[in-house]
Amino acid sequence: MADQITIASEPKEAAAGGKPVIRLENVFKTYDLGEIQVQALRGVSVEVRAGEFVAVMGPSGSGKSTVMNILGCLDRPTKGRYFLDGVDVSGMTKTELARIRNRKLGFVFQQFNLLSRTSALENVELPTVYAGVSPEERTRRAMEALTRVGLADRAGHHPSQLSGGQQQRVAIARGLVNRPSILLADEPTGNLDSRTSVEIMDILQTLNNEQGLTIVLVTHEPDIALFAKRTLLFRDGKLKRDSLVEDRQVAHEVLKSLPTAEQQAAEDAEEETQRLAKDDATA
Ligand SMILES: Nc1ncnc2c1ncn2[C@@H]1O[C@H](COP(=O)(O)OP(=O)(O)O)[C@@H](O)[C@H]1O
Ligand SMILES: [Mg+2]
């Protein structure tokens, strides 16, 4: 196939957003394993504008993490170009990429990757150390980020003293602390139960709505993708579909219909009582 550049059709609503912050032009990624070569991405072209909330979907092995690594400047395309905020970063050195990454991008992963012997506050402060921020300013920014995820009152807690959902919120705060223009999240709800997942989506939607934060989120769960505004479907290293989310879910509303952890516990206890009573009756 010719190296012709085709930009995936831009959904109208997305175009109504801000300027393009991400632009991939015919991106290929080949992993060279000596004997064999794995073509993880085979000609991906796409544009994401400021303020968008995009869900990246597709089966395992379709290239989702590879594209996220490129978007996150953790890896470079084998061929093709990547413009981040209008700047071609595809040919940059690792040092240059690291600087851009620290300034413009925030990351959230499935594994929370928090340092266990360190408080929530110190975990959140960590990326500011590399950004050369003064100690007082670090603490101020970290507290601000923790406040944004609703965990200001847990700043002194260690990860083991926090629930899974709270740990992921700390990880989100860490991703926000250098005030990135784009947040990249790879399966952030992969280790969380349904309600906690929606709580995380509530935080992401709030950041997107109120701060205009651009979000690119990988998920294999269709229910989670419904909280985004647009979905990109990958298959065999290619972008197969680019569509707006119809029936977009509002996490804040969905939460009202889901039982809280306490209600769930009470329900479980009630079921257990009934089961024991039934056992007694049949004994
Ligand atoms: N570091 C690597 N070395 C070799 N092959 C890789 C590497 N990372 C990913 N791949 C291969 O590239 C393809 C796409 O992988 P990936 O982007 O991780 O998919 P997804 O995240 O959608 O599951 C797969 O065939 C995978 O085995
Ligand atoms: Mg993956």
Q: Residue 262 above 90 pLDDT? A: no
Q: Can you tell me the distance from the alpha carbon of 283 to that of 279, in angstroms, rounded to the nearest whole number? A: 6
Q: Can you tell me the distance from the alpha carbon of 79 to that of 43, in angstroms, rounded to the nearest whole number? A: 9
In short, whether 160's Cβ falls inside 6 Å of ligand 1 is no
In short, whether 188's Cβ falls inside 6 Å of ligand 1 is no
Residue 63 Cα to ligand 1 middle (Å): 6
Tell me the average pLDDT of the chain: 91
- From the CA of 69, give the closest atom in ligand 1: 17
- pLDDT category, 54, cuts 50, 70, 90? very high
Does 30 map to a domain?
Answer: yes
pLDDT at 17: 65
Ligand 1, atom 4, lies closest to the CA of 31
In short, whether 65's Cβ falls inside 6 Å of ligand 1 is yes
pLDDT at 130: 78
- pLDDT category, 215, cuts 50, 70, 90? very high
pLDDT at 245: 97
3-state DSSP of the chain: CCCCCCCCCCCHHHHCCCCEEEEEEEEEEEEEECCEEEEEEEEEEEEEECCCEEEEECCCCCCHHHHHHHHCCCCCCCEEEEEECCEECCCCCHHHHHHHHHHHEEEEECCCCCCCCCCHHHHHHHHHHHCCCCHHHHHHHHHHHHHHCCCHHHCCCCHHHCCHHHHHHHHHHHHHCCCCCEEEEECCCCCCCHHHHHHHHHHHHHHHHHHCCEEEEECCCHHHHCCCCEEEEEECCEEEEEEECCCCCCHHHHHHHCCCHHHHHHHHHHHHHHHHHHHHHHC
pLDDT at 36: 94
Residue written as token pair 């603490």? 139
Instruction: Please measure the distance between the N-terminal and C-terminal CA atoms of the chain and give it in whole angstroms.
Output: 74
Does 178 map to a domain?
Answer: yes
Assess contact for 138 and 125: CB atoms under 8 A: yes
Does 58 map to a domain?
Answer: yes
86: left (phi over 0), alpha (psi -120 to 50) or beta: left
Does 1 map to a domain?
Answer: no
Ligand 1, atom 27, lies closest to the CA of 61
In short, whether 166's Cβ falls inside 6 Å of ligand 1 is no
Give the CATH number of the domain where residue 251 resides.
3.40.50.300
pLDDT at 1: 43
Q: Residue 15 above 80 pLDDT? A: no
Q: Residue 14 above 80 pLDDT? A: no
- pLDDT category, 236, cuts 50, 70, 90? very high
pLDDT per residue over 65-121, tens digit each? 999 999 999 999 999 999 999 999 998 999 999 999 988 999 999 899 999 999 999
Does 240 map to a domain?
Answer: yes
Ligand 1, atom 5, lies closest to the CA of 31
Ligand 1, atom 20, lies closest to the CA of 61
pLDDT at 156: 97
In short, whether 138's Cβ falls inside 6 Å of ligand 1 is no
Average pLDDT over residues 219-244: 97
Q: Residue 5 above 70 pLDDT? A: no
pLDDT at 9: 47
pLDDT per residue over 139-183, tens digit each? 999 999 999 999 999 999 999 999 999 999 999 999 999 999 999
In short, whether 60's Cβ falls inside 6 Å of ligand 1 is yes
Does 281 map to a domain?
Answer: no
Average pLDDT over residues 42-71: 97
Does 283 map to a domain?
Answer: no
Q: Can you tell me the distance from the alpha carbon of 235 to that of 262, in angstroms, rounded to the nearest whole number? A: 41
**Other beta carbons within 10 Å of 218:** 25
Residues with CB under 5 A from ligand 2 (ion): 64-65
For residue 56, give the ligand nearest its CA. 1
**Other beta carbons within 10 Å of 208:** 19
pLDDT per residue over 153-162, tens digit each? 999 999 999 9
Average pLDDT over residues 56-64: 96
- From the CA of 33, give the closest atom in ligand 1: 4
Does 93 map to a domain?
Answer: yes
Sequence-distant (6+) residues with CB within 8 A of 8 are 45, 46, 47, 232, 239, 242
> What domain range includes position 44?
12-274
Pairing of strands 79-84, 87-88: antiparallel
pLDDT at 131: 76
Q: Residue 12 above 50 pLDDT? A: no
Average pLDDT over residues 131-144: 92
Number of domains within the chain: 1
Structure-token pair, residue 139: 């603490």
pLDDT at 50: 96
- From the CA of 41, give the closest atom in ligand 1: 14
